[in-house]
Amino acid sequence: MLRNKRQMVKASYSLPPIVSQVNGFEIYFLTGQEYIYQTLFCAYSLLSVTDIRFQFILVDDGSFHEALVNRIYQQMPGVKLVLKNEIIQNLLRDLPEEKYPYLHHKRKVYPHIKKLTDIHTLPENNYKLVIDSDMLFWNHPSEMISWLKNPAGCIYMLDKVESYGFNRDLMASLCGHQIPEQLNVGVFGIQSNTINWDDLEYWSKTLEETEQESYFLEQALSAMLIANQNPIVLNKNEYIVNPTGLLPCSGKVKLHHYVDLSKSYYFNTAWKKFI
């Protein structure tokens, strides 16, 4: 698996240009030095299954440097990059550390939280669709595209097994609403200006102080954020988390999110179908 992962990293340098369109539908990635090869393959796979125009927006996870920026601009013509200085200015404006100390603490020790704090403090485009890099598109994602064309409420994938890391009753008591089942943030779209950052500060601090720190904090917070919204829930048989078995052979499978044990399938087999 590690050998095939190294081959994937190397192959990412030779992908055809992944063209980003200024007026395209906006897709956000939190990415960096360690994950850019996955981001490139994910974006390339999306373009390979649809003729829709996209504007890819890559948000610095803190590891961007000059050579990486140059590489991204070369491989993704028209891409929009959100770099560290812009992120810091947004946080100073919307999430000052003296008011949100716990969220700033989590940003330092838990990068996943940046998918909320760093992306949804960007001022443009109230609705934002954030997708993970460790995914590949296999067929036209019509439901996802429809939401981008006419966003309302929220959109998300279903997990294979519910993974929030915290007691559901505690989560529900904090947000005041029933928690949706099995939310997975591989594809997650919401309206940025519906996020109450005071709530997020309180929820994250209370969850971890009441129970324990969890790798799934960002996923739990996301479920709490949309608990009172009208969701578009992507079909779990078409947008598949932790896929196993053979590669998709029908038009029903639209997306794979390679988590947990499916990492070996991702590195050993799946990405090679796009070169």
DSSP string, 168-203: HHHHHHHHTSPPPSSEEEEEEEEEGGG--HHHHHHH
Is the CA virtual torsion 251, 252, 257, 262 positive or negative? Answer: negative
The pLDDT value recorded for residue 68 is 98
Q: Pick from 24, 61, 65: which is nearest to 39 by CA?
A: 61
Q: Which fold has domain 2-261+267-271?
A: Spore Coat Polysaccharide Biosynthesis Protein SpsA; Chain A (3.90.550)
What is the end-to-end Cα distance of the chain in Å, rounded? 18
Q: What is the average per-residue pLDDT within 27-56? A: 98
Residues contacting residue 260 through CB under 8 Å, at least 6 positions apart: 242
Give dist(CA 182, CA 159) in Å, integer: 5
The pLDDT value recorded for residue 124 is 77
Give dist(CA 242, CA 253) in Å, integer: 13
Residues contacting residue 29 through CB under 8 Å, at least 6 positions apart: 39, 42, 43, 56, 57, 58, 59, 130, 131, 132, 133
CA angle 167, 170, 175 (to 5 degrees): 125
The pLDDT-based confidence of 250 (bands split at 50, 70, 90) is low
Is pLDDT above 90 for 13?
yes
Residues contacting residue 162 through CB under 8 Å, at least 6 positions apart: 181, 182
**Length of the chain in terms of residues written:** 275
Residue entry with tokens 């603490």: 105
Provide φ and ψ at 62, rounded to 5°: 110, -5
42 alpha-carbon distance from chain centroid = 11
Q: What is the average per-residue pLDDT within 161-176? A: 96
Is pLDDT above 80 for 252?
yes
User: Residue 243 is encoded by which pair of tokens?
Assistant: 């896929």
pLDDT, tens digit, 9 for 90 and up, residues 208-223: 999 999 999 999 999 9
What's the mean per-residue pLDDT of the chain? 96
Q: What is the average per-residue pLDDT within 127-143? A: 97
Amino acid, single-letter form, for residue 33: Q
Q: What is the average per-residue pLDDT within 107-122? A: 97
% pLDDT > 90, the chain: 95
The pLDDT value recorded for residue 249 is 65
% pLDDT > 70, the chain: 99
Is pLDDT above 70 for 8?
yes
The pLDDT value recorded for residue 222 is 98
User: What letter would DSSP give residue 158?
Assistant: E
